[in-house]
A and B are shown apart, each in its own frame.
Chain A
């Protein structure tokens, strides 16, 4: 995208005041978005984005500047602006830029740009038709198709030269069901870093049907109970809980700022001994996968918990250096418009030994959670919430009436210690995680889990 001599000059300018590392991140991204709403293809959008960011850091201080102009003058100006954050006066050296190649984690078999827009529109029509066929109570369907190809170049003053293409594809169905005054919604949106072949595994029919079934099922729902009770989290949903409750506080920037409940607790039993958890950017075609992170560090599978014992944190270069830890390849950025920060990739609780059906049968009273709307955590206090979009009562070991309007709230360490069953099944869920104003595509996964006691925030007192 840029030639090595120019990049070397930019890195040299960025190190005019020294610093530990200077880095250039260049990006070109083409994208297609199609939205079907109210039975009509409302909007087709195609975008072409490009830009470059220059960062230099020393200890805990960084400067970052970006521009969406890629000419020499603009890049040198960005380098000069970034270097202004440092106070030194001894220019730093630039090591020869050497190609690094990755394993090709996110290979796309069929490039979406080779498929015409009419075919993509057809997938959305299928979503619409299938969803409406589920029930006459389906009142509205929105289908969104998205694909993008991000081409990245990362070069650093210590010699990294990494080029990687990241393909993304997603098909989302959002369904509104209505019965009298009651309106309920259902959502399903599988996604991957892959090509069109992804839709062979996750066809539009299934996506439309799943979202519609969720919305219609919730029409029969009663308000969720409020108070402490047992909660069984279906496979796939527990990964988001793990992401919020545990993942965010394990990000090294929170730990370094003393804003994490897990600080200083490596080697401690911070979770139930049934919990084995990893953050894994190496899963082929995973929504949060890559060959190299956005600092050019190779992707890793980082073990977070072994039998409930905390093993380590998620690191980027700045924090790892400060904490004397190994980098784990978790530096990510939304685009060239942002400096990289410590992020999760695909965060999974690994399968256990219990039969998932038996977990439900062994639960006298509680909530069975089968759909979720994301969550939020305060890493410093460990308090987190987790929105339940689809849930059911468990009564005497049976899944019974659907419930709506529920949220789970708890303290990270307490809740992870009260997991008392982990199933042998496993499922994933794809979302977009927000942090410091940046969105990052993340995967999460889990088997069926039971939490022996957690506060359910419904309205039924």
Chain B
């Protein structure tokens, strides 16, 4: 920790009069182990560190970064960022945040998790794979059985008084199974994350990955129609990323969001409440402060269908004016990029009905279990999407019927949000986005 702090302080010492300088340093130690056919398939050990520097001079912003720099190289990065700033255009909204008190989140770091021996991780990966292929005669192979964890540390300092640091532990288990019957192969995916591998029961992940593959065997292509749809948490979470793009104040301010003029309006149905909460410690996106040192917060983006506002960084809040403050959503893709606007724990608030109750309400509809092509088939700017999907028919009383493949579902974000009839109680996080099952009144299903 102290080494990281030394690096960011080296940047502070290189600041000159008339400029704001911020340095962000991070380091991580990561281990991943995968197993295949009863043996270790791969082990990866990673150690990395880097520093990114923002310089604002005459309202102009420049950025530079360096991997594992010496103090000299940090000073050089400050100089390069300053040169870059000179070529950018002035923008009065460019400014670093002033230092403000931060409530630490010590629960994000678990010393027990950080201390797990490699041999134990190897054993867990081998156990995961062995268990996964023992559950069903049609599932004798995995595409992936992997566990991993990492310890990361962040330090950030600025000439506006920010001087912060924190550390965290994260772990994941993933299983992708292959179910084979005759000429047909189907895959099943499951995934879970927590603060440490010691807190992550992997049997349910294996069971779910097996179940999701086996269910799809015999899948057929449906007829084209408009039907009620339930998106399970796996499928629904894919859409949250698209929604996040449309709620990012940077895109809103630049005319790239269909929600730009809809604040205060009932954009979605009353069953739909969407929250970003960086202080929710059980979510993977939890963090005490954002990528520029502003305290993480809780922002209710939609309350019972009404759009309240957008996610902001210091830059977008200043640009929006009108008393807008940063929501603590300046996020970085690591030290290699300057902060933009991003999500922390971004989730649909759970309802009070379980999945069985939702299914019973969707007779004649389709349960969507997986969607594909979201990055190419969904447009957060126009709000239109058409994505590939797999799932099952929903019969009378909510009974799950025939598995379905080779179909697409298509709609627009506003129509989908207005069409939300109910959300389930089964909220689940996938990376930093979380959602329960969502029942949507009608969507176009394309098949034959």
Binding site for B on A (CB under 8 A): 37-38, 40-51, 60-69, 74, 78, 81-82, 84-85, 117-118, 121, 139-140, 176, 178, 182-185, 224, 226-228, 257-259, 261, 337-339, 372-376, 378, 380-381, 383-387, 389, 404-407, 409-411, 455-461
Which of B46, B118, B185 touches A337 (beta carbons < 8 Å)? B46
Contact indicator B45/A78 (Cβ below 8 Å): yes
Q: A42-B91, A45-B65, A385-B377 are in contact. Are A82 and B221 (CB under 8 A)?
A: no
CA separation between A40 and B253, bound complex, in Å? 14
Q: A42-B88, A380-B186 are in contact. Are A375 and B376 (CB under 8 A)?
A: yes
B141 interface residue, CB < 8 Å from A?
Answer: yes
12 contacts between A and B (CB under 8 A): A40-B91, A44-B62, A62-B41, A82-B43, A185-B379, A224-B386, A378-B187, A380-B185, A405-B385, A409-B446, A410-B406, A458-B446
Residues in chain B near residue A226, CB distance under 8 A:
224, 408, 410, 444-446
Smallest distance from the beta carbon of A204 to chain B beta carbons, Å?
17
Contact indicator A227/B381 (Cβ below 8 Å): no
CA separation between A63 and B39, bound complex, in Å? 12
Which of B67, B141, B388 touches A385 (beta carbons < 8 Å)? B388
Mask: chain B, 417-448; 1 = CB below 8 Å from A; 0 = not: 00000000000000000000000000011111
Q: A45-B338, A60-B41, A461-B225 are in contact. Are A66 and B46 (CB under 8 A)?
A: yes
Contact indicator A381/B187 (Cβ below 8 Å): yes
Smallest distance from the beta carbon of B33 to chain A beta carbons, Å?
8
Contact residues of A: prevailing secondary structure: strand
Nearest B residue to A406 via CB reads B386
In the complex, which of the residues B36, B44, B185 has the most CB atoms of chain A within 10 Å of its own CB atom? B44
Contact residues of B: prevailing secondary structure: strand
Known: A37-B254, A176-B255, A386-B373. 19 other contacts (CB 8 A): A46-B80, A48-B67, A60-B39, A68-B67, A85-B42, A176-B256, A176-B381, A227-B448, A258-B180, A261-B185, A339-B44, A373-B376, A375-B373, A376-B372, A407-B386, A409-B373, A409-B446, A458-B446, A461-B224
Nearest 9 A/B pairs, CB to CB? A457-B408, A387-B376, A385-B373, A385-B388, A373-B376, A44-B84, A226-B446, A374-B376, A407-B386
Contact indicator B408/A61 (Cβ below 8 Å): no
Smallest distance from the beta carbon of A416 to chain B beta carbons, Å?
15
Contact indicator B87/A459 (Cβ below 8 Å): no
Q: A38-B254, A257-B141, A385-B377 are in contact. Are A455 and B221 (CB under 8 A)?
A: yes
Smallest distance from the beta carbon of B265 to chain A beta carbons, Å?
13
Smallest distance from the beta carbon of A157 to chain B beta carbons, Å?
18
The A-contacting residues of B in range 59-87, CB under 8 angstroms, are 61-69, 73, 77, 80-81, 83-85, 87
The A-contacting residues of B in range 140-167, CB under 8 angstroms, are 141-143
B3 interface residue, CB < 8 Å from A?
Answer: no
Which of B40, B47, B83 touches A67 (beta carbons < 8 Å)? B47
Contact indicator B143/A380 (Cβ below 8 Å): yes
Contact indicator A457/B386 (Cβ below 8 Å): yes
Q: A176-B255, A405-B410 are in contact. Are A380 and B187 (CB under 8 A)?
A: yes
CA separation between A227 and B386, bound complex, in Å? 12
Nearest B residue to A183 via CB reads B382
Residues in chain A near residue B37, CB distance under 8 A:
60
Residues in chain B near residue A66, CB distance under 8 A:
44-48
CA separation between A383 and B296, bound complex, in Å? 41
Nearest A residue to B405 via CB reads A383
The A-contacting residues of B in range 120-148, CB under 8 angstroms, are 141-143
Q: A85-B40, A385-B372, A405-B410 are in contact. Are A380 and B178 (CB under 8 A)?
A: yes
CA separation between A378 and B370, bound complex, in Å? 11
Smallest distance from the beta carbon of A126 to chain B beta carbons, Å?
16
Q: A257-B141, A410-B406, A459-B410 are in contact. Are A82 and B45 (CB under 8 A)?
A: yes
Which of B41, B143, B446, B447 touches A259 (beta carbons < 8 Å)? B143
Smallest distance from the beta carbon of B315 to chain A beta carbons, Å?
10
Contact indicator B63/A43 (Cβ below 8 Å): yes
CA separation between A139 and B382, bound complex, in Å? 13
Which of B49, B382, B410 touches A184 (beta carbons < 8 Å)? B382
Residues in chain A near residue B186, CB distance under 8 A:
380-381
Nearest A residue to B62 via CB reads A44
Smallest distance from the beta carbon of A149 to chain B beta carbons, Å?
15
Q: A387-B373, A455-B448, A456-B446 are in contact. Are A407 and B225 (CB under 8 A)?
A: no
Residues in chain B near residue A49, CB distance under 8 A:
50, 66-67, 336
Smallest distance from the beta carbon of A82 to chain B beta carbons, Å?
7
Smallest distance from the beta carbon of B99 to chain A beta carbons, Å?
24
Contact indicator A457/B87 (Cβ below 8 Å): no
Smallest distance from the beta carbon of A237 to chain B beta carbons, Å?
12
CA separation between A184 and B226, bound complex, in Å? 25
Residues in chain A near residue B118, CB distance under 8 A:
84
Residues in chain A near residue B372, CB distance under 8 A:
376, 378, 383-385
Q: A41-B88, A48-B66, A404-B384 are in contact. Are A139 and B224 (CB under 8 A)?
A: no
Contact indicator A228/B448 (Cβ below 8 Å): yes
Contact indicator A372/B376 (Cβ below 8 Å): yes
Contact indicator A60/B373 (Cβ below 8 Å): no
Residues in chain B near residue A378, CB distance under 8 A:
187, 372
Residues in chain A near residue B65, CB distance under 8 A:
45-48
Contact indicator B141/A258 (Cβ below 8 Å): yes
B231 interface residue, CB < 8 Å from A?
Answer: no
Residues in chain B near residue A337, CB distance under 8 A:
46, 48
B411 interface residue, CB < 8 Å from A?
Answer: yes
CA separation between A236 and B262, bound complex, in Å? 39
Q: A44-B88, A380-B178 are in contact. Are A140 and B255 (CB under 8 A)?
A: yes
Residues in chain B near residue A64, CB distance under 8 A:
42-45
Contact indicator A43/B187 (Cβ below 8 Å): no
Nearest B residue to A178 via CB reads B255
B387 interface residue, CB < 8 Å from A?
Answer: yes
